[in-house]
């Protein structure tokens, strides 16, 4: 049995909720937990603020549950909410093409809030002390075997363990437009940010991921009449989610990857390919079709790719569904096993495409985008080169596809910093690296130990320090889906309690020896 522990959770978004819920489900000796979150969006994070209901999560309820081992946790919450509000059960957010529910992000934020409150209440009932601190942690050190955290208010507190749950970053201002009239640097909350956009203005959206889709769908829902230009370097839209089909992975499983990891040697990519081949063969799925989807994405015009993928929503072939299950479920286990050469090649050639396929949009969103494109209101342009503010207002957009044109409003929806470390967390991370408690990963974020999510320095795990979420992406490849956060939360809680029990046992042994 572990002794009482003091745990610091740095950040209060979705990853923190997964971690706290995992802890609350364990029968532990009462300790203390302190959550540091300076923003007003406690538990919701940036992505799930109160916002328009047109902005939806891109996964079905079973993929959004924060409760380990209970994929229906979020679904039951939705059903209860429907009954309380007197709504027809299961109809809010129902996508008729997929026959599945994609809840509004604002509702998912409510779910995160209520789940966090319930988990903390459970801990309190069992004797835990709970503190919520609206300050940011700006530096850290290790002293006398304890994690020492200093906040922006200058307060220093000591903890047995600390977990970095710092979340993602706001979009990066690539073209230096901050402060320019008509430039919206961060589109969330969308309801608030779109109020200043005139219904007939030409809106240019930088980026082509899920955030960009949110913006376009919301503009259309507001009755926007002006032209919308979706701008990016590659024109790679998210894939279109197919109708859910139940199946189980048989070969590319976390258990199999963990067995491979115990060999303590790099795994050849050919070995992984062999397992993938067996997975597809036994499911009767078209592996060649998935390979063509990945390798041929840039040879297909964005609108035609969108049209084709939308036509395949009802496809009986499991190929894309296997990819979308295997990458989040086993990607964090496979990735550390690959050679550095294979990692670099995959990141360079296929990362964007794989992410677009593994983080697909609901069919209803794709249907709306295609309607806007076919009617000529939406233009999806790749080859973005530059955007500059005009001397008399507005913006000049330059792409390799057409002559420069003018836009009235520019909305920033690019991916966050490639470094995987939010700007707000940079002082803390710099402090950790300076004090040799963390190492930056060459592929972004920090080095962590795969099995425990402990921060690692020169390959040596630090048992007092952990990281959860996108900050671990360099090590684990896929970290930001809710199932991934749930899995890593379980790893962290197990590792913390096991370390605490071992330390407690050593203390007891020393006491007995000195008696």
DSSP β-bridge partners for residue 214: none
* Per-residue pLDDT, 219: 96
Would the CATH topology of 6-44+117-169+418-513 be identical to that of 183-238+362-412?
A: yes
pLDDT band at 506 (very low <50, low <70, confident <90, very high): low
Alpha-carbon gap, residue 140 to 8, rounded angstroms? 12
User: How many residues belong to the chain?
Assistant: 515
pLDDT in tens, 344-400: 888 888 888 998 999 999 999 999 999 999 999 999 999 999 999 988 889 999 999
pLDDT band at 46 (very low <50, low <70, confident <90, very high): confident
Q: Which of 2-11, 63-72, 80-89, 324-333 has the highest mean pLDDT?
A: 63-72
- The predicted model gives 456-466 an average pLDDT of 95
Both tokens assigned to 500:
């605490």
CATH assignment of 183-238+362-412, among 3.40.50.2300, 3.40.47.10, 3.40.50.850, 3.50.50.60: 3.50.50.60
Phi, psi torsion values for 375, nearest 5 degrees? -85, -5
> Looking at the predicted structure, is the pLDDT value of residue 269 above 90?
no
pLDDT band at 511 (very low <50, low <70, confident <90, very high): low
- The predicted model gives 70-81 an average pLDDT of 95
Alpha-carbon gap, residue 100 to 117, rounded angstroms? 28
One-character DSSP codes across 6-19: EEEEE--SHHHHHH
CATH assignment of 6-44+117-169+418-513, among 3.50.50.60, 3.30.420.130, 3.40.720.10, 3.40.50.920: 3.50.50.60
Alpha-carbon gap, residue 257 to 428, rounded angstroms? 33
Calculate what percentage of the chain has a pLDDT beyond 70. 96
CB 340 within 8 A of CB 400: no
Alpha-carbon gap, residue 167 to 265, rounded angstroms? 31
Alpha-carbon gap, residue 26 to 196, rounded angstroms? 48
Which position has the token pair 């840039």? Answer: 298
One-character DSSP codes across 171-236: PP-TT--TT-TTEES---SHHHHGGGS-TTS-EEEE--SHHHHHHHHHHHHTT--S-EEEE-SS--
- The predicted model gives 120-142 an average pLDDT of 97
* Per-residue pLDDT, 507: 61
**Max Cα–Cα distance, the chain, nearest Å:** 85
Both tokens assigned to 235:
């024109």
Q: What residue segments make up the domains of the chain, in order of their start?
A: 6-44+117-169+418-513, 183-238+362-412, 254-358
pLDDT band at 401 (very low <50, low <70, confident <90, very high): confident
Alpha-carbon gap, residue 450 to 335, rounded angstroms? 9
Looking at per-residue pLDDT, the higher value among 375 and 45 belongs to: 375
Alpha-carbon gap, residue 165 to 469, rounded angstroms? 6
Q: Between the CA of residue 44 and those of 47, 98, 128, 172, 290, what are the distances in Å?
A: 7, 26, 23, 21, 34
Coil, strand, or helix at residue 104? strand
pLDDT in tens, 466-499: 999 999 988 988 887 899 999 999 999 999 999 9
Alpha-carbon gap, residue 75 to 186, rounded angstroms? 30
* Per-residue pLDDT, 47: 84
Coil, strand, or helix at residue 258? helix
Alpha-carbon gap, residue 465 to 164, rounded angstroms? 8
Task: Render the burial of 100-131: b for 16+ CB within 10 Å, e for the rest.
Answer: bbbbbbbbbbbbbbebbeebbeebeeeebeee
- The predicted model gives 120-127 an average pLDDT of 97
Both tokens assigned to 100:
């599945």
> Looking at the predicted structure, is the pLDDT value of residue 510 above 70?
no
Looking at per-residue pLDDT, the higher value among 105 and 298 belongs to: 105
pLDDT band at 512 (very low <50, low <70, confident <90, very high): low
* Per-residue pLDDT, 416: 64
Phi, psi torsion values for 393, nearest 5 degrees? 95, 165
- The predicted model gives 417-424 an average pLDDT of 75
* Per-residue pLDDT, 265: 65
- The predicted model gives 139-145 an average pLDDT of 94
DSSP β-bridge partners for residue 56: 104
Coil, strand, or helix at residue 95? strand
- The predicted model gives 65-89 an average pLDDT of 92
The region, left, alpha or beta by phi > 0 then psi within -120 to 50, assigned to residue 459 is: left
> Looking at the predicted structure, is the pLDDT value of residue 197 above 90?
yes
DSSP β-bridge partners for residue 457: 460
Coil, strand, or helix at residue 162? strand
| Mean of pLDDT over the chain | 91
CB 68 within 8 A of CB 482: no
pLDDT in tens, 287-336: 999 999 998 888 899 999 999 999 999 999 999 999 999 888 888 888 88
- The predicted model gives 23-44 an average pLDDT of 94
Rg (CA), the chain: 24
Q: Pick the closest to residue 296 from 233, 350, 355 (CA basis).
A: 350
* Per-residue pLDDT, 508: 59
> Looking at the predicted structure, is the pLDDT value of residue 167 above 80?
yes
Phi, psi torsion values for 33, nearest 5 degrees? -135, 130
> Looking at the predicted structure, is the pLDDT value of residue 77 above 80?
yes
* Per-residue pLDDT, 415: 73
pLDDT band at 263 (very low <50, low <70, confident <90, very high): low
Alpha-carbon gap, residue 361 to 57, rounded angstroms? 8
> Looking at the predicted structure, is the pLDDT value of residue 264 above 90?
no
């Amino acid at each position: 049995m572990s002794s009482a522990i003091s745990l610091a959770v740095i950040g209060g978004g979705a990853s923190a909720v997964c971690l706290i819920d995992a802890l609350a489900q364990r029968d532990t000796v009462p300790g203390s937990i302190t959550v540091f979150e300076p923003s007003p969006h406690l538990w919701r994070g940036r992505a799930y603020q109160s916002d328009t209901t047109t902005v939806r999560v891109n996964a079905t309820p079973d993929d959004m549950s924060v409760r380990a081992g209970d994929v229906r946790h979020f679904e039951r919450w939705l059903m209860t909410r429907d009954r309380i509000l007197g709504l027809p059960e299961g109809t809010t957010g129902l996508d008729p093409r997929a026959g599945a529910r994609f809840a509004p992000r604002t509702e998912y934020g409510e779910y995160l809030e209520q789940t966090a409150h319930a988990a903390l209440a459970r801990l309190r009932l069992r004797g835990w002390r709970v503190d919520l601190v609206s300050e940011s942690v700006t530096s850290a050190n290790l002293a006398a075997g304890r994690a020492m955290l200093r906040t922006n208010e200058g307060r220093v507190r000591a903890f047995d363990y600390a977990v970095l749950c710092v979340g993602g970053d706001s979009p990066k201002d690539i073209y230096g437009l901050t402060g320019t009239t008509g430039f919206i640097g961060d589109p969330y909350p969308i309801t608030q940010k779109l109020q200043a956009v005139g219904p007939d203005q030409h809106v240019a959206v930088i980026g082509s991921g899920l955030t960009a889709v949110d913006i376009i769908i919301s503009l259309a829902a507001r009755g926007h009449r002006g032209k919308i230009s979706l701008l990016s370097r590659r024109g790679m839209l998210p894939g279109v989610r197919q109708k859910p089909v139940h199946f189980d992975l048989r070969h590319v499983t976390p258990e199999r990857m963990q067995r491979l990891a115990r060999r303590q040697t790099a795994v050849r990519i050919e070995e992984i390919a062999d397992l993938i081949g067996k997975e597809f063969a036994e499911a009767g799925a078209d592996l060649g079709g998935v390979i063509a989807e990945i390798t041929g994405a840039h040879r297909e015009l964005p609108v035609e790719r969108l049209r084709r993928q939308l036509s395949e929503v009802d496809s009986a072939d499991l190929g894309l569904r296997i990819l979308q299950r295997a990458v989040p479920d086993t990607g964090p286990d496979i990735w550390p096993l690959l050679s550095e050469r294979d990692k670099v090649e995959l990141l360079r050639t296929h990362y964007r495409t794989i992410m677009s396929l593994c983080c697909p949009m609901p069919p209803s969103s794709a249907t709306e985008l295609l309607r806007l494109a076919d009617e000529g209101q939406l233009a999806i342009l790749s080859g973005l080169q530059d955007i500059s503010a005009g001397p008399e207002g507005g913006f000049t957009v330059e792409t390799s596809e057409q002559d420069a044109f003018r836009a009235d409003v520019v909305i920033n929806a690019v991916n966050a910093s490639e470094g995987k470390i939010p700007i707000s967390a940079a002082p803390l991370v710099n402090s950790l690296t300076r004090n040799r408690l963390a190492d930056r990963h060459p592929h972004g974020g920090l080095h962590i130990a795969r099995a425990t999510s402990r921060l690692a320095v020169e390959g040596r795990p630090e048992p007092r320090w952990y990281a959860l979420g996108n900050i671990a992406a360099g090590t684990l490849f896929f970290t930001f889906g809710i199932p991934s956060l749930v899995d890593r939360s379980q790893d962290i809680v197990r590792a913390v309690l096991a370390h605490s029990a071992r330390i407690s046992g050593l203390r007891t042994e020393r006491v007995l020896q000195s008696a």
